[in-house]
């Protein structure tokens, strides 16, 4: 198709150089004629013309990445700037969680959002349902090298809502198990290769944690995890999903929690802190990370994003998938993804530039993987370079088994549901409230949220 239009492209380039055609019109004509966005932008960059030299297109990109993630994202943005000077990316980093998503919703509802933004997959469906996101065109994606076969089916499908693709996954970030290699070796939990032996079932897990606690010495623990934060939800939902429990009906309108399974899970969790006491009963996120980093715990349960912290601290550690405690393997997690918020006046040139940016970021995601996240883009995940990245590649196999938070406006990463779960479950972990009472209170709280109208 492009070769058939070469004469037209040549004429349009001449028109741009003479000032008879704008650069935006050139991009619209070229993409409509069948040229890929990358070809069109490359040709446009060579057009010269009466306008000052500089980027042919400019897009705005919003994200919520701070800390190590933020540093790696900036590195990837710089890589794109060097490789594609024809596109200027104005990157904006906003506060993680509800502040970010509130601003994104307001910008999209006002019709003046960024051309491309990061969204957790767990937040995407709510925004798509409100018409705040633009669906992707598969043919447009194919022209910049983004096709379904380059993603795991389970990962690609999570980007869909009502049969349309609204989110392109950048990664999967699962809940994982960090383990101190010195402590676990002393406890007899490592194999001849120095890797953690398989641990499956409640009894095997509890025995492993008790052995690790003994090996950690006085004042040490078998496992440490955040009790004063959203980690309680991540543990609960991982284990409840391993029992094949559901929280909401398929349409998301009815609470269908299995009380017996939920109480079974919360009882096991409370046993860790208030009965067997292999884990501290009240500790915040920073305290949990510091305790493991200082060598006072055999295990640490958290998201995989703290890998750089322990590497920097020279903690003797490795990582493994979160253990299978019950019938079916599942683990809580989420996916960072690229979305295109709804524009009041869509610009084909900006859309083409945004798609090229997304394509590049996927291809450059080995940089992203170094921070712990599992790349969604299979050409990176399947590469020898990634397989040799340790310990980050040790848990890549869990990507198809990640369960994301139930779909609703109050659910998802950094959401009201995650926060309220911690408030309700923490007293159970401390032994002040029984698991049955905790589940009853949790159900009443979630039902109240279900009865509340979407706030935007």
Q: Is 176 helix (H, G, I), strand (E, B) or coil?
A: strand
State whether CATH 3.40.190.10 applies to domain 174-334+415-450. yes
Quote the pLDDT of residue 7. 46
Nearest Cα to Cα of residue 71 among 257, 319, 305: 305
Quote the pLDDT of residue 453. 75
More confident residue, 373 or 67: 373
Mean pLDDT, the chain, whole residue set: 90
- Check if 55-170+335-387 and 174-334+415-450 are the same fold: yes
Nearest Cα to Cα of residue 180 among 315, 281, 314: 315
**For residues 274 and 281, is the Cβ–Cβ distance under 8 A?**
yes
Side-chain-facing half-sphere of 194: CA atoms under 13 Å: 9
CA–CA dist 298, 289 (Å, integer): 12
Q: What is the mean pLDDT of residues 98-102?
A: 91
pLDDT bin (cut points 50, 70, 90) of residue 5 is: very low
**C-alpha of 267 from chain center:** 29
Break the chain into its structural domains and give their ranges. Answer: 55-170+335-387, 174-334+415-450
Quote the pLDDT of residue 40. 56
Q: What is the mean pLDDT of residues 137-166?
A: 97
- The answer to whether residue 46 scores a pLDDT higher than 80 is no
- Where residue 412 falls (left for φ over 0; alpha for ψ -120 to 50; beta otherwise) is left
CA–CA dist 299, 420 (Å, integer): 26
Quote the pLDDT of residue 346. 86
Q: Which residue has the tokens 């009815």?
A: 254
**For residues 120 and 169, is the Cβ–Cβ distance under 8 A?**
no
Quote the pLDDT of residue 411. 85
Q: Computed over its alpha carbons, how large is the radius of gyration of the chain?
A: 24
User: For the ranges 24-38, 185-199, 206-220, 319-333, which has the lowest average pLDDT?
Assistant: 24-38
- The answer to whether residue 48 scores a pLDDT higher than 60 is no
Residues facing residue 302 across a β-bridge: 176
- The answer to whether residue 1 scores a pLDDT higher than 50 is no
Alpha carbon distances (Å) from 254 to 43, 211, 250: 54, 42, 8
Q: What is the mean pLDDT of residues 84-105?
A: 93
Q: How does DSSP classify residue 392?
A: G
- The answer to whether residue 441 scores a pLDDT higher than 60 is yes
CA–CA dist 34, 29 (Å, integer): 9
pLDDT bin (cut points 50, 70, 90) of residue 12 is: low
pLDDT bin (cut points 50, 70, 90) of residue 456 is: low
pLDDT bin (cut points 50, 70, 90) of residue 238 is: very high
Nearest Cα to Cα of residue 102 among 115, 117, 82: 117
Q: How many CB atoms lie within 10 A of CB 308?
A: 17
Q: What is the mean pLDDT of residues 210-217?
A: 98
Cβ-proximal residues to 95 (8 Å cutoff; 6+ apart), any chain? 64
CA–CA dist 114, 299 (Å, integer): 41
- The answer to whether residue 20 scores a pLDDT higher than 70 is no
Task: Phi first, then psi: give them for residue 162, nearest 5 degrees.
Answer: 50, 40
User: For the ranges 19-23, 295-299, 422-426, which has the lowest average pLDDT?
Assistant: 19-23
Q: How does DSSP classify residue 149?
A: G
Q: How does DSSP classify residue 406?
A: P
CA–CA dist 166, 157 (Å, integer): 10
Quote the pLDDT of residue 32. 57
CA–CA dist 358, 161 (Å, integer): 20
Q: What is the mean pLDDT of residues 242-269?
A: 95
Tens digits of residue pLDDT in 362-418: 999 999 999 999 999 999 999 999 999 999 999 999 999 999 999 888 888 888 899
Instruction: State which CATH number among 3.40.50.10490, 3.40.190.10, 3.40.640.10, 2.60.120.200 fits the domain covering 55-170+335-387.
Output: 3.40.190.10
Task: Phi first, then psi: give them for residue 51, nearest 5 degrees.
Answer: -85, 155
Tens digits of residue pLDDT in 27-42: 555 555 555 545 555 5
Quote the pLDDT of residue 19. 52
Number of residues that this document lists for the chain: 456
CA–CA dist 190, 186 (Å, integer): 9
- The answer to whether residue 25 scores a pLDDT higher than 70 is no
Three-class SS of 237-280:
HHHHHHCCCCCECCCCCCECCCHHHHHHHHHHHHHHHHHCCCCC
Quote the pLDDT of residue 415. 85
Tens digits of residue pLDDT in 292-348: 999 999 999 999 999 999 999 999 999 999 999 999 999 999 999 999 999 988 899
Quote the pLDDT of residue 414. 82
CA–CA dist 123, 407 (Å, integer): 8
Quote the pLDDT of residue 42. 54
CA–CA dist 433, 425 (Å, integer): 8
Query: What would the DSSP string read from start to end of 286-301?
Result: HHHHHHHHTT-EEEEE
């Amino acid at each position: 198709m492009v070769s058939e239009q070469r004469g037209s492209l040549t004429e349009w380039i001449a028109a741009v150089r003479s000032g008879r055609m704008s650069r935006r019109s050139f991009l619209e004509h070229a993409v409509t004629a069948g040229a890929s966005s990358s070809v069109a932008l490359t040709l446009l960059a060579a057009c010269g013309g009466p306008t000052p030299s500089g980027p042919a297109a400019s897009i705005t990109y919003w994200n919520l990445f701070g800390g190590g993630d933020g540093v790696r994202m900036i590195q990837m943005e710089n890589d794109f700037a060097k490789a594609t000077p024809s596109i200027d990316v104005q990157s904006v980093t906003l506060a993680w969680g509800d502040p970010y998503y509130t601003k994104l919703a307001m910008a999209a509802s006002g019709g003046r959002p960024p051309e491309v933004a990061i969204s957790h997959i767990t937040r995407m469906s709510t925004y798509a349902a409100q018409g705040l996101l633009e669906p992707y065109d598969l043919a447009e994606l194919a022209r910049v090298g983004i096709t379904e076969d380059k993603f795991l089916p389970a990962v690609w499908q999570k980007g869909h809502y009502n049969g349309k693709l609204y989110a392109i996954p950048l990664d999967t970030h699962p809940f994982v198990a960090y383990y101190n290699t010195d402590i676990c070796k002393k406890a007899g939990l490592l194999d001849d290769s120095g890797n953690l032996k398989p641990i499956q079932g409640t009894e095997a897990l509890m025995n492993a944690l008790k052995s690790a606690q003994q090996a950690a010495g006085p004042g040490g623990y078998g496992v440490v995890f955040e009790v004063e934060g959203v980690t309680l939800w991540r543990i609960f939902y991982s284990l409840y999903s391993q029992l094949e429990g559901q929280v909401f009906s398929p349409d998301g309108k009815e609470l269908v929690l299995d009380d017996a399974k939920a109480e079974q899970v919360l009882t096991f969790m409370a046993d860790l802190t208030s009965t067997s006491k292999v884990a501290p009963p009240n500790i915040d996120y920073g305290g949990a990370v510091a305790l493991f980093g200082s060598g006072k715990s055999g295990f640490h349960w958290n998201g995989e994003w703290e890998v750089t912290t322990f590497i920097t601290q020279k903690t003797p550690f490795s990582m493994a998938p979160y253990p299978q405690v019950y019938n079916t393997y599942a683990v809580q997690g989420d996916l960072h993804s690229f979305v295109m918020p709804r524009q009041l006046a869509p610009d084909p040139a900006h859309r083409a530039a945004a798609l090229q940016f997304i394509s590049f970021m996927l291809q450059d995601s080995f940089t992203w993987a170094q921070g712990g996240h599992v790349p969604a883009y299979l050409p990176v995940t399947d590469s020898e370079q990634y397989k040799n990245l340790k310990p980050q590649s040790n848990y890549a196999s869990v990507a198809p088994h990640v369960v994301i938070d139930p779909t609703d406006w109050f659910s998802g990463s950094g959401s009201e549901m995650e926060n309220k779960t911690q408030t309700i479950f923490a007293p159970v972990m401390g032994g002040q409230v029984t698991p049955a009472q905790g589940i009853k209170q949790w159900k009443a709280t979630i039902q109240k949220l279900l009865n509340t109208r979407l706030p935007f």
